[in-house]
Structures are given as C-alpha cells and as structure tokens.
Structure 1
C-alpha cells in the first residue's frame, strides 16, 4: 500500500512540475521604456536596452503567472548622451553603485479577458517598494520558426520620490510620476 501511495504522489508531483510553463523575453522584439514630464509641458521618453524577463505559470489563463524582470540601469538610453550620463550619475540612478533594477511579482489577478493586475516588489536605487502594474496579454501564436510566442504589454507608473530619484529636481522641473511601458514578446521555453 505504501508503494502505491508513493507512486501516486510521485506521479502527481511530476504532473505538477511538468505543468509549469516558462516564457522568456525575446529581446529582439521587446522594449522596456519610460516617460517623464519635463517642465510640465513635454514628455521625455527613454528606454533600457539591456534586460531579462521571465514569466512562469501553471495555468493556461495565466492567472497564477509570476513575472520577474531584471534591468541593467547603465543601459539607459534617452537619445541624448549628455542626459544619459547625468541620469546614470549620483543625482539620479547612481548606476555605478546600483547597476540593477528588478521587479518580482507577488500576485496576479485576472480582471478581464487577457487583462491582469500584477502586484510586486520593484527595487532600484537601493530601495524596494510595492507597485501594481497593468498587464495585457495580447495573445499567443506560433511564429514562422514553429515557436510558441506570447505578446504582453505591461504598464504602470511609479513615484520617483519613493525611490529617492533626483531629489534635487522639483516637480516643476521633472514630474514625480514616471510612466513605465513594457511591450514584449515571450517565447515558450
């Protein structure tokens, strides 16, 4: 009897483990970007060129998905080299001391067809804060190489003051709100 129970437990565990699906960001078809209001009249946008992102789920509807993103802060790119150097400095990101930014989800709640509210911990500039992001699963297809690919848009905003980012720059110069926009294709592993 013990052997039968052990066999069933192992079979159940194997099924549970094999049901876990991992998706990795296809960096050639993905971007991590941000926007901030400058002087109250214009939007300055930028991106991070180096990042890794993974989604793990065991449910087909992605309601239990776990999102993990790691961004290399020195890869910041606003299209203006002088501004990028300033953003990497101690006035803002202090990229030499804090070279990584991470997001690790703690929960995912389905709120509509293909729509989710994802809560998690965002860490950068030596500070970790909880944030809530909106996730839109655009769909899943088989690409020209026969690979299963899913598209996601992840949006939200954070307060730069929560992360002590540019504390010497008042809101009249740079808005406190920073808009995050991730548009990515993920390949099933």
Structure 2
C-alpha cells in the first residue's frame, strides 16, 4: 500500500520555484510514496465562517478538504512574502482546520519546506506555517525540513528536479514524512 502525500504550494506564480520544488517531490518520491500536487488554491475564497455552512461551502474549498482528507500526510511548500507565509497558504490551512477539532489536518503528519531568494531560504515563513498547522491540529514533522536559499540564482537555469543536492534532500524529507505516524484525533 502506498502512502499518499498532498502537496500544497504557497505561490500561485506559474514559474514559481516552490512549485518547481513540489514538481521535484512528485517526480522523485521514494518507492511506495505518491506525492500529489493540489491544483486550485487560487480558487479557494478567503475563509469566512458565514460561508462554511452545510450547503454553502464553496466547491473549491470542498475539493481542498476532500483531497487533504484522502491524503495520509501533507507537504507544504512556502516561499517567504514579507517575512511570513503567503496568504494563499494560510487560507488553505484555515479551511483545512475546520470544523474545529475535526478538520482535514487533524492528527495528520505535515512537513513544511521551501525556497526563497533570501539567504535563509524562507525559514521565517516555513516556521510560521509549521506553527499554524500545529495549532490547526496537524502533527508537525519537525525533523522534515528543507529551506533552500538563493532561489532566483540557484534555479535560474536548473529546475530543482535536476539539482542533485536538492533531490537528495527533498527525497529525505518525503521519506521522513511518509514514515511519520498520524495520531488519534
């Protein structure tokens, strides 16, 4: 039986290095692990309790929750926007945290990785994302970390899937995440 990991990318830009990093995770997932890249975060409206009601939940949010619910674990890819995670990623976490105590993140292993232009590779944003998913009820796999600095220059001519060091480090993260146990909700 294979482990299913849902990848959420916090950048909506078509040429995003974090999206490319997620594509590398899909391509180089270890045997027995399937990484699925979720498409559609741009369509998920900002979380609003008034629309999170039976019969009123937007279809894009329903799809996000269903995909996360079917996954064994989640892998978040976060760039750093002004020292923190992008709103689209925070919004996904908010939708997945509900209903309170029983959201799609509840007791599910989650790891956060990413790349950014700065010298620390988006560490602040990734730390914020870990904090948010932990509060939302996920099991944060703290040892599964990867922050790649200098994305604009490092990936100017090389896709992350073709960078041997990145592939090796990313494969380790995916393997750690795939072996992390879920906890009882």
TM-score for both structures, normalised by structure 1: 0.30
Tell me: higher relative CO, structure 1 or 2? Use CA pairs within 8 A at least 6 residues apart: 2
Q: Which is helix-richer, 1 or 2? A: 2
TM-score for both structures, normalised by structure 2: 0.30
Q: Which is strand-richer, 1 or 2? A: 1
> Which of these two proteins has the greater Rg computed from alpha carbons?
1
